[in-house]
Chain A
Amino acid sequence: MASASQLLQYVISGVTVGSTYGLTALGFTMIFNTTEIINFAQGEFVMLGGMLAVFAIRWGGVPLPAAVALSVLLATAIGVVIDRLTIRPVRGRSVIALIIITIGVSILLRGGAMLLFGKDTYSLQAFSGGAPILIGGAALLPQSLWVVGITLFTLLGMKFFFDRTISGKAMLACSCDRKAASLMGINVEAMVTLSFAFSALVGSLGGVILAPITLTSFDVGILLGLKGFAACILGGMGNPFGAVAGGVLIGVLESLGAGLLSSGYKDAVAFVILLALLFVRPTGLFGKRMTERV
């Protein structure tokens, strides 16, 4: 049987990995809340964050903090360009058509990164040292604190943005009813662009703080995108708090599944529980029940 320190280690590992899923999930939430689009290129924003930072250091020789800022800025700009070039020209099409466009964008970004940066895996130096902190026999990396901290900070920021600011409320209005929002004087297109910029920002920020722990390569976005999406579904689509909670829950389940049952069934354990939960609560843990008024 697992000892207490082992259990604690599983939970710490789970929360760290889960926060990475949660951060990706926040990006999904951002765009979904404005457009009802599920942006399948979200994982690629995460990849861009890590890769751009790695290459800013390798090619540009800039120090780490500058590389972080540079990569986040660049990725945000890419997010805006994507909206202008691929989403805006086909505005008004069905949501499903737009979702398929985002899948195309994800393939394009991945391929572009492969051609530009090559197929190798890269590592980024840790922000504040690599020596682990020991708590009750379990090891915690300083970088994990960065991940958890930035995830929480982003979550609070988003909560504040959607609840308390005019722009945030305008964004929510766009997803409820574009036409009505537009009639109320909301610049819907600007809001959509803003949501892409924000989600690219959140995604790439996540990518940068993750890279020292997880390593990065042109194709890390696939898995993170998938897990982040699962986290959104589990937490309830459109709810930032649910997205983070869903991510952490999946991370902890995976880690406990690997530790207590078998590492061969790690992903299976997490997803079986996810399926079971969705049978009971189809809208996710924290999702609002949809009511269709006739």
Chain B
Amino acid sequence: MTMRRGMILGIAAVVLLAAGLAQAAEPIKIGAIFSVTGPASFLGEPEKNTAKMLEEDINKSGGLLGRKVEIIVYDDQTDATEAVKAVDRLIKNDKVAAIIGPSTSGSTLAIVPKVEEAKIPLVSCAAARKIVEPVKKWVFKTPQSDLLAVRQIFRHAAKSGIKKIAIVTASDAFGAAGREELKDQAPKMGLTIVADEVFGPKDTDMTAQLTKIKGTDAQAIICWGTNPGPAVIARNRVQLGMKTPLYMSHGVASKKFIELAGVANAEGILLPAGRLIVEGQVDAKHPQKKLLASYIKEYEGKFKQPVSTFGGHAWDAVMLVAEAIKITKSAEPAAIRDGLEKVKKFYGTAGEFNFTPEEHNGLTDEAFVMVKIAKGEWEMLK
């Protein structure tokens, strides 16, 4: 009898132990939705590369809470409908604890109701301010808002004694959002918009818009768009012999822009950018310096292509989720969400993140520096 009882106990112990081991070995699943293909693939591809690279790094250094991390990436093909399908799969089939991405604002806004219903924290890599304003309990984002970029430009313009500006924006989502922000902020900074022009994202000639601006008394031009439109503006401005200072948005903060515009045409253009592209000029004592340098070294070594700000957004998203898991010592969705709100003084590629229950982007104006293009290189302005 006792022997039999002992055997049962023994079996029970083995079963429990095995279950416990399985529990410990079960990886923490983090879902990711990126636009790896389609028009926004310039965002999604570096984001996916970065996420997969970090998964490897985290697991090599022992994982999180002693568990391995598994990042499951789905491609939404730059299509909000595909993003909704992907989020369903992540929540219902993969049962992920948190989701990072999507790459675009449209896809992010489309999946917000899904993550809110399933109570899964979402850390988006898209820029629109609408994602976190008004604050949604389960939704966070890593890229700097357009508002911060606009304020940075206006502050620089005001300091240079500029009072009247002309704006020329792309007629896509990015340009339209920037245009709204520019028109909203200009009066607050004491600036008057004397010309408000628009261009199609695929247009190849903007001389008409610039000629019109030339006829006004604008002291500076601010252009808002992503390549190739702004590169055409830069070329046309020089062709028309215009000397009016030209500001660009952070949307062109890549070497590709200088290549397309041509070194001579890009000379002197000013833009706000994250510190990632000017890492070499960042002060060695700056708290972001070390992580920027190591991210650039690892990424460029591994993928043989230059880093971009966009991959940086995914770096921030993955590391913020990891940080939240460390803070609450739990990988349950609700705990990760609570942990995210407790993240303070966390340095990512975009800047210093301080999340609170009222602030789900967590970045301030310091996240951007003003950069000037000189001889085809970025020059950080002090």
Q: Within the complex, which residue of B41, B212, B227, B241 is in contact with A263, where a contact is CB–CB below 8 Å?
A: B212
| Contacting pair A123 B260 (CB below 8 A) | yes
Q: Within the complex, which residue of A2, A12, A134 is in contact with B215, where a contact is CB–CB below 8 Å?
A: A2
| Contacting pair A259 B227 (CB below 8 A) | no
Contact residues of B between 237 and 274, Cβ < 8 Å to A? 239-241, 256, 259-260, 262, 264
Residues of B within 8 A of A258 (CB): 197, 208-209, 212
Query: In the complex the two chains form, what is the Cα distance from A254 to B42 in whole Å?
Result: 30
| Contacting pair A264 B260 (CB below 8 A) | no
A264 — nearest CB in chain B belongs to which residue? B198
| Contacting pair B204 A259 (CB below 8 A) | no
Answer whether residue A179 sits at the interface, using C-beta atoms and an 8 A cutoff. no
Binary flags per residue of B206-230, CB closer than 8 Å to A gives 1, else 0:
0111011011000000000001100
Answer whether residue B200 sits at the interface, using C-beta atoms and an 8 A cutoff. yes
| Contacting pair A259 B212 (CB below 8 A) | yes
Contact residues of A between 145 and 164, Cβ < 8 Å to B? none
Residues of A within 8 A of B199 (CB): 263
| Contacting pair A10 B208 (CB below 8 A) | yes
Chain B residues with a Cβ closer than 8 Å to the other chain, count: 31
The stretch of A167-175, A193-201, A212-220 that contacts the partner chain:
A212-220
Chain A residues with a Cβ closer than 8 Å to the other chain, count: 40
A118 — nearest CB in chain B belongs to which residue? B41
Query: In the complex the two chains form, what is the Cα distance from A2 to B213 in whole Å?
Result: 11
Answer whether residue B98 sits at the interface, using C-beta atoms and an 8 A cutoff. no
Q: Within the complex, which residue of B41, B205, B262 is in contact with A13, where a contact is CB–CB below 8 Å?
A: B205
Residues of A within 8 A of B264 (CB): 130
Answer whether residue A119 sits at the interface, using C-beta atoms and an 8 A cutoff. yes
A224 — nearest CB in chain B belongs to which residue? B204
Query: In the complex the two chains form, what is the Cα distance from A225 to B281 in whole Å?
Result: 45
| Contacting pair A223 B202 (CB below 8 A) | yes
Binary flags per residue of A90-131, CB closer than 8 Å to B gives 1, else 0:
000000000000000000000000000001111100000010
B240 — nearest CB in chain A belongs to which residue? A139
B204 — nearest CB in chain A belongs to which residue? A214
A–B complex contacts, Cβ < 8 Å, 19 sampled: A2-B215, A6-B212, A9-B211, A10-B208, A10-B211, A12-B207, A13-B205, A13-B211, A139-B241, A141-B239, A210-B204, A215-B232, A215-B260, A223-B202, A258-B208, A259-B209, A263-B199, A263-B208, A266-B198
